Amino acid sequence: MSTARRVVLLGPPGAGKGTLAERLVVRCDGRHLATGDMLRAAVADGTPVGRQAKVFMDRGDLVPDEVVIGVLKEALDKNPNARGFLLDGFPRTKAQAKALWVMLDERMQVLDAVLLINTPEDLIVRRLAARRSCPKAGCGMVYNLETKPSKKIGLCDRCGSEVVQRSDDKPETIRARLNKYQVETAPLVEFYRAKNLVYEINGAGSAEATSAAAMAMLDRVGTAD
């Protein structure tokens, strides 16, 4: 069976997209495209895109569409022969969803599935408050103080750097990000439902249970090419 599916992971921040992506990426040509990771790398490198994005990210706001669309296009163009991908954190607005549709059309490609992760809001807030990540460029391991602590407290298992709380995972910013999701991103569910692409996953269980359900679902969906 082809492993080159083109999949969008949709769900609020903290729904478990990143954890799920790590496990699903083998079904998607090994290409995990997370715009949040790309933007954080740009901020850390002090690039013009990073300087533009930082102020929005620190507030928990969305980075303007034209900036993020440019970042994603560049990522897709980097590897023109790859067919599959797993999009994590993109699209987040109708304008981004439409731009993605056009980008794929130009490449004569279509999406195979949009996985909608349903996770209750109180669980999301708890998860995000307990999330810690490795700030080292190229590492970026993600931990959770309650469910997935690093082996040595406060230090990354992979590279030994001190793990930190993302500045946008502070409680006041978490609320702002969840509000943004409801206003800007939740309407995409209807956009993709109209195209018969939405598959719902329960994100409240363990990472193993969620990924097993998602894998089984993707295997049933298959790929359009």
Positions annotated as catalytic residues are 17, 92, 131, 166, 177
Cα of first residue to Cα of last residue in the chain, in angstroms, is: 11
Nearer to ligand AMP, 128 or 201 (CB): 128
- Residue placing its CB nearer to ligand AMP in the complex, 113 or 188: 188
Closest residue to ligand AMP using C-beta atoms: 36
Residue 62 in contact with ligand AMP, rule: CB under 6 A = yes
111 in contact with ligand AMP (CB under 6 A): no
DSSP string covering 144-200:
ETTTB--SSTTB-TTT-PBPB--GGGSHHHHHHHHHHIIIIITTHHHHHHTTT-EEE
Residue that the structure tokens 């990540």 belong to: 133
Report how many residues bind ligand AMP under the rule CB under 6 A: 17
Q: Do 181 and 15 form a contact (C-beta atoms < 8 A)?
A: no
Decide: is 12 part of the binding site for ligand AMP (CB under 6 A).
Answer: no
Give the residue, chosen from 16, 89, 117, 214, that forms a contact with ligand AMP under the rule CB under 6 A: 89
Contacts of 98 (CB under 8 A, 6+ apart): none
Residue 203 interacts with ligand AMP (CB under 6 A): yes or no: no
> Binding to ligand AMP by residue 117, rule CB under 6 A?
no
**Nearest-angstrom CA–CA distance, 204 and 123:** 8
- Interface ranges with ligand AMP (CB under 6 A): 13, 35-36, 39, 56-57, 60-63, 68, 89-90, 92, 96, 168, 177
